[in-house]
């Protein structure tokens, strides 16, 4: 997990990528195992827990942030010189539920970049190939702003 936490600012309990499986100039594949002891399962839903769709989307966005961080690193940017900011979400399709204990592959692909924004497509599949989710989104990589006192 250190490669993940070295690249993006997300930390448990709001980190939904376990490791990077592969990366290229146009995309990235990550992996996540949804652990049975995660607190949100106590309320979603107590007698039949499933992973909330919004957290599945977040795992895709974090994979997108990892892709952008690797791109920035390749361009010479040092860790901490930028943070990913989600700018747009569209065309979310939830196809199959993810249950506690499931391991999924999260894939993001760059479509285009313009005006400081990177448009991407993301998908999640279970390790058996079952499609879980598709989403299109845009992310900007921005320098962190100084905190106001």
- Catalytic residue numbers read 44
Interatomic CA distance for residues 36 and 12, integer angstroms? 15
Cis preceding linkage at 45, omega within 30: yes
Work out the burial of residue 34: count CB atoms within 10 Å of its CB; fewer than 13 is exposed, 13-18 middle, 19 or more buried.
buried
Residues with Cβ within 8 Å of residue 133, at least 6 apart in sequence: 53, 56, 57, 60, 92, 93, 94, 95, 122, 123, 124
CB-CB contact of 68 with 56 (8 Å): no
């Amino acid at each position: 997990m250190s490669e993940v936490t070295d690249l993006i600012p997300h930390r448990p309990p709001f980190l939904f990528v376990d490791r990077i499986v592969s990366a290229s100039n146009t995309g990235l594949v990550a992996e996540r195992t949804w652990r049975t002891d995660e607190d949100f399962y106590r309320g979603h839903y107590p007698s039949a827990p499933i992973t909330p769709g919004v957290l599945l989307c977040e795992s895709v966005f974090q994979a997108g942030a990892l892709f952008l961080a690797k791109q920035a690193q390749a361009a010479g940017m040092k860790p901490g010189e930028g943070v990913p900011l989600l700018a747009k979400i569209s065309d979310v399709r939830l196809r199959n539920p993810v249950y506690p204990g499931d391991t999924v592959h999260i894939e993001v692909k760059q479509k285009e970049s313009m005006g400081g924004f990177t448009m991407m497509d993301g998908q999640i599949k279970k390790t058996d190939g079952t499609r879980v989710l598709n989403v299109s989104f845009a992310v900007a990589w921005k320098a962190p702003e100084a905190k106001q006192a």
